[in-house]
Amino acid sequence: MGYKFLEHTADVMFEAEGKTKEELFIECSKALNETIYGDINIVEQIVKKIEIKAEDLEGLLYKFLEEFLFLLDAEGLIFKKIQNLKIDENNFSLTATLKGDKAENYHFTNDVKAITSNNLKIEKQKLYKSTMVLDV
């Protein structure tokens, strides 16, 4: 499905869509990644498995995207590919395998300070849809 950036006064706002919850989460991560480092070719030489739990689906999406910022800040890693993303909506958890590389091997300039819960919502119509704001 995809994502698109929306106008916002100070931060970065985007809207993403997916046929499934998993596809929606992947599209949101693509929008975050484009905001951070644009369209650079990242070598997929580091594999990282993640597990996340939250109180609800919106919280799960928030924590999922926050994990990308944590891994960049704490471990100096950036990721381009997500595999085996599974969302369990019964207990609001997800598992996934991320593939990427060390951030020090690339040059990028846009700094995302935080994922915000401002305007964060997930709706299910024909598609799953979410709107998010990134603090830059």
Residue 81, domain CATH: 3.55.10.10
Q: Among 6-10, 39-43, 45-49, 121-125, name the most confident range.
A: 45-49
Residue 131 predicted with pLDDT over 90: no
Closest-CA residue to 99 (of 87, 83, 76): 83
**Digit-coded pLDDT (tens) for 37-88:** 888 899 999 999 999 999 999 999 999 999 999 999 999 999 989 999 999 9
pLDDT of residue 132: 83
* Residue 2 CB coordination number (10 Å): 11
Domain that holds residue 69: 2-135
In this structure, the dihedral spanned by the alpha carbons of residues 76, 79, 135 and 111, taken in order and rounded to 10 degrees, is 50
Residue 129 predicted with pLDDT over 80: yes
Distances (CA, A) of 7 to 17, 83, 114: 17, 31, 18
pLDDT of residue 1: 75
How many domains does the structure of the chain reveal? Answer: 1
**By the 8 A CB rule, do 58 and 121 touch?**
yes
What is the pTM (predicted TM-score) of this model?
A: 0.90
